[in-house]
Structure 1
Amino acid sequence: MEEKISMCNFDENLIEIKKFEVLSELPNPFLFENGTMLEKKEQWEVRRRELYKLAVEMQYGTQPPAPEFMKIQTLCCNEEMKMDSYRIIAGRDNNSLSFKMVVFKPKGNDKYPAVVDGDLCWRYIYAPQFIDSFTDRGIMLVMFDRTEIAPDLVPGVRSGPLHELYTEYTFGTIGAWAWGFSRCIDALGILGIADMTCIAFSGHSRGGKAALLAGALDNRAAIVNPNASGQGGSGCFRIHMRAIDEKGSELRSEQMSDCAFYGIYHWFGPEMKQYTGSEGNLPFDEHYLKALVAPRILVETESASDIWANIIGTWETAMAAREVYRFLEAEDNLLLYFRKGEHEHTVEDVEKLVSVIRNRMCGEPVAKGAFVLPFKKQRLIYHWKCPRNI
């Protein structure tokens, strides 16, 4: 990537940190289970498999496989609106599920880079400026409704068509939603309508958690963009924080105990519940999940006043994951952007992702402001460093 100039329209005093509680140090992603240190780049895949067991299977449960069969039904092709819709039908044996995929296309008939987003159920899909932010820049926006794969109910239980299809796996709702991202890539390949060398995953909040997990699972995603994904996404389990936001309100970050209060344990795998109130004992944190995306491009977009999403924890795990990116000689492929405002997925967030896609496709400059923080830097909660790559 091109060198970026760190500029932004806020300073480090925008958000006042009132509490910064660290439950334990971030575990070392370079330390093998047997206690030896990773030393060479060629060893990474072995260590990566160990990280997978923790950041994926412990956090989200064992994941469902690719379907045994899949077919696509064309529902509507609207050339005037540049919008096509399809139904994806996939399954195993004689059982299947289906969900809708909508494709918003740029003008023309080229194969365009594509952003896959599972938030067809979310309100910003009804904002034309959100869609146009992609299509006006030559990028296809591919939306699917993750709630057709597993319902988004709070309080809820682990249920839905995908769970009924793969009863022998322990994946939670986020894992089910992540599965949908990969099926959309499958569908784009079958339809032959996208540039398969530049596929990005994106999503907001719980959809951002699913996008990040999907990116860790599927290396066909060249770019992964969780937006405001917080706990179980880009945040940090072992940091609890309080801060005064832009409006002067004092707020706190989400904790594992909130999963019980809001009835969302079903988002995760069955092992996570035991760490409620003792997150400091977790053998992983979200820098492990981010490391599973490396060396591919990870673009985290966050808002300054989204205290619930643990903005310090997001920065801490991004800094820790950068050590892995540095080890893999891809440090510039991890970017963290903050903007003013609250918990939304805005055009300003989209512009950051679009700039990265355009940089990859045609060398345009990447958006400025990566790693410019709206709060004063806190101490890093780890002491290990990237091993010297021999």
Structure 2
Amino acid sequence: MTRFLFWATLILFSGQFANGQGPEGYNYDEAKVGIYTLPDLLVNTKGKAVKTKVDWRNRRAELLKLFAENVYGETPANSVKLRFQTTSVDKSALNGLAIRKQVSIFFVDYPQLPPIDILIYLPKASSKPAPVFLGLNFCGNHCVTTEADIPLSARWMMGGNNDAVNKNKATEKARGMQARRWPIEMIVKRGYALATAYYGDIEPDFPQGWQSGIRSVLGDTTKATNWGAVGAWAWGMSRILDYLQTDPAIDAKRVISIGHSRIGKAAIWAGAQDERFAAVIANESGEGGAALARRWYGETVERINTSFPHWFADRYKTFNKRVADLPVDQHELMALIAPRPLYVASADGDQWSDPKGEFLGALHTEPIYRLYGKTGLGTTTFPAVDQPIGKTVRYHNRTGIHDVTDYDWEQYLRFADELVR
């Protein structure tokens, strides 16, 4: 019964209220957001101004520590020995458009852990190493493509008993279930590769999921600053990047971290910690992602910590009713991506994720991009729906609900063409 109630809550509060009506007691009225003061990016904890790139590098290290201690938890610094095993290569995938690889990442020192199984599509027409979008998926590699020979994941899956999931195991009905979110043909035709893995390979997404994931062997569960699931998923993205750097078909200097919803949070945190990522794309990442925590609008710190107690460090819960005391806010997280390109996206039917709060989070990174001689968004005006804006930092608020669509991918491909290639 406890598991059922947890997933009922998850479904309710991750559905994003497409009709614009939030749960009772949560604000969807901009006039009621109230007054808040953001931490100053350009002043360190000792009160000294950040004026140079050297100053910023010191401030950057300070902010990484503050986010680790107070929000996502401390990512273990342990060096983990990996073994990469290519399990399959199809040189004529997608009717000859792509080369498809399947690669497993094994943890040599922790043989009890399942591997991270990566699915990679490379543009067959490319004569040089391909830039790549790297993102985790929600339901197994078999769900991102309609190709019938992708092995069905045997890992724990979100959901109860339905056509796609039976007793938390995927069924054949799950094949291609989220293929529309991953327009692989569009991506490879533009000369990009796609690398994806099931986020549950790193840690299953429920409160006790850590017991069978990487957090069972790394970290300290007795500490309030121990890393949460978002931190584990971000760490897993960096381990996939470790593999990609060994693959001669991949341009390892052009790996773009991308994620939707909770994986959007992980994609930002991965890009903030790991500067090997060339750019970051956060699609409707909301609270704990791109949206400002101090805005009382849509999902709140208290709600996300209550619904998903395993996502963040335990210390984050101490700010549930005193968000103004947080020593950081999300504009500072995204500023850690600078001077690399950043894309933040919202949807007008996803008010739970606070589109304006996501826009403002992106906007307030501007001083750091300016420090590097770059223009961030380049405007302070919240754009009309379906009107992308920005320079090195991009933003759009798409028509529709909490989702990833071809419209989103069209913007991301254009963004990559202009800023990452």
Normalised-by-shorter TM-score class: 0.7 to 0.9
Matched, 1:351 2:395: no
Structure 2 residue aligned with 1:101, among 105, 118, 126? 118
Letter of the 2:129 partner, please give it: K
For 1:259, the equivalent position in structure 2 comes to 304
Relative to structure 1, the CA distance from residue 307 to residue 167 in structure 2 (aligned partners, 3 Å threshold; closer, same or farther) is same
Q: Give SS of 2:82's match.
A: strand
| Structure 1 residue 96 displacement after superposition | 5.4
Aligned residue pairs total: 336
Contact 1:86 1:100 (8 Å CA) reproduced: yes
Structure 1 residue aligned with 2:290, among 234, 237, 248? 234
Distance 2:374 2:184 in 1: 30
Contact 1:151 1:159 (8 Å CA) reproduced: no
Q: Give SS of 2:77's match.
A: coil
- Aligned-residue Cα RMSD (Å) equals 2.3
For 2:394, the equivalent position in structure 1 comes to 335
Contact 1:240 1:310 (8 Å CA) reproduced: no
TM-score by length of 1: 0.80
**Structure 1, residues 43-98: CA drift from partner, whole Å, max 9, x if none?**
11111111111223321000023643111111111122132111111254777551
For 1:216, the equivalent position in structure 2 comes to 272
Distance 1:334 1:144 in 2: 26
Relative to structure 1, the CA distance from residue 91 to residue 54 in structure 2 (aligned partners, 3 Å threshold; closer, same or farther) is farther
Show structure 2 runs of 5+ residues with no match: 1-19, 22-27, 94-98, 146-175, 376-390
Contact 1:68 1:93 (8 Å CA) reproduced: no
| Structure 1 residue 136 displacement after superposition | 1.3
Identity over the aligned pairs, expressed in percent?
A: 27
For 1:121, the equivalent position in structure 2 comes to 139
For 1:388, the equivalent position in structure 2 comes to none
Q: Give SS of 2:205's match.
A: coil
Q: Give SS of 1:254's match.
A: coil
Alignment of 1:1-390 (within 5 A): 17-22=29-34, 24-65=36-77, 67-81=79-93, 82-92=99-109, 97-108=114-125, 110-119=128-137, 121=139, 126=176, 127=179, 130-153=183-206, 158-168=210-220, 170-241=226-297, 253-262=298-307, 264-331=308-375, 332-360=391-419
| Structure 1 residue 219 displacement after superposition | 0.6
Greater mean alpha carbon deviation, residues 127-136 or residues 192-201: 127-136
Distance 1:260 1:361 in 2: 35
Higher relative contact order (CA 8 A, sep 6+): 1
Greater mean alpha carbon deviation, residues 89-98 or residues 285-294: 89-98
Q: Give SS of 1:167's match.
A: coil
Relative to structure 1, the CA distance from residue 90 to residue 23 in structure 2 (aligned partners, 3 Å threshold; closer, same or farther) is farther
Contact 1:64 1:179 (8 Å CA) reproduced: no
Relative to structure 1, the CA distance from residue 44 to residue 361 in structure 2 (aligned partners, 3 Å threshold; closer, same or farther) is closer
Distance 1:88 1:193 in 2: 18
Letter of the 1:140 partner, please give it: A
Contact 2:210 2:216 (8 Å CA) reproduced: no
Distance 1:206 1:94 in 2: 28
Q: Give SS of 1:268's match.
A: coil
Relative to structure 1, the CA distance from residue 238 to residue 289 in structure 2 (aligned partners, 3 Å threshold; closer, same or farther) is same
Contact 2:264 2:282 (8 Å CA) reproduced: yes
**Structure 1, residues 232-276: CA drift from partner, whole Å, max 9, x if none?**
1001111012xxxxxxxxxxx1012213542x1210012100011
Letter of the 2:251 partner, please give it: D
Greater mean alpha carbon deviation, residues 222-231 or residues 324-333: 324-333
Show structure 1 runs of 5+ residues with no match: 1-13, 242-252, 363-390
For 2:3, the equivalent position in structure 1 comes to none
Q: Give SS of 2:395's match.
A: strand
Letter of the 2:414 partner, please give it: S
